Amino acid sequence: MKTLSFYTILLFSLSLSGQTFIREGKGDYNTVLYTWDGKYLRQGKGVYNDVLLTWDNKYIRQGKGNYNTVITTWDGKYLRKGKGDYNTVLYSWDGKYIRQGKGDYNTVLYTWDGKYLRQGKGDYNKVIYTITGKVPTSVLIHLVI
């Protein structure tokens, strides 16, 4: 019986730790705006809230479903409009900065340091979101567009 209880608690804690919370502003205790579970971006805190985006490592789709409308295509550096590897580049990513359009010298819109998403270029600019966990860059970009 103790073993069963232990495994139940372990599985429950692992299922909770599989969620990443995206909070408003700077702070680990601020209001949760979005929940990320590795595939779905949900509004608010919880696994049963409305699904805003579905992610499958290449395409971001509207709502919940693998066959819904493709909003953007992600190749690891460029976020492109719609479905296609040669469509218009909306945003680019260089490991720290989210830039407008295609190019390493275009305007920096956001700075990402692994925990805080900041407006503009700089490590001391205003924090828009605090993120506790891992979220794909393409999903981060969708949060701010």
Exposed, middle or buried by CB within 10 Å (0-12, 13-18, 19+), for 103?
exposed
State which residues form the domain around 44: 2-144
Distance CA 139, CA 64 (A): 14
Give the count of domains, the chain.
1
Residue 67's CB is within 10 A of a number of other CB atoms, namely: 7
pTM assigned to the model: 0.81
pLDDT of amino acid 144 = 84
Ordered mean pLDDT values, 10 residues apiece, the chain (145 residues): 36 54 93 94 92 94 93 94 94 94 93 94 94 89 84
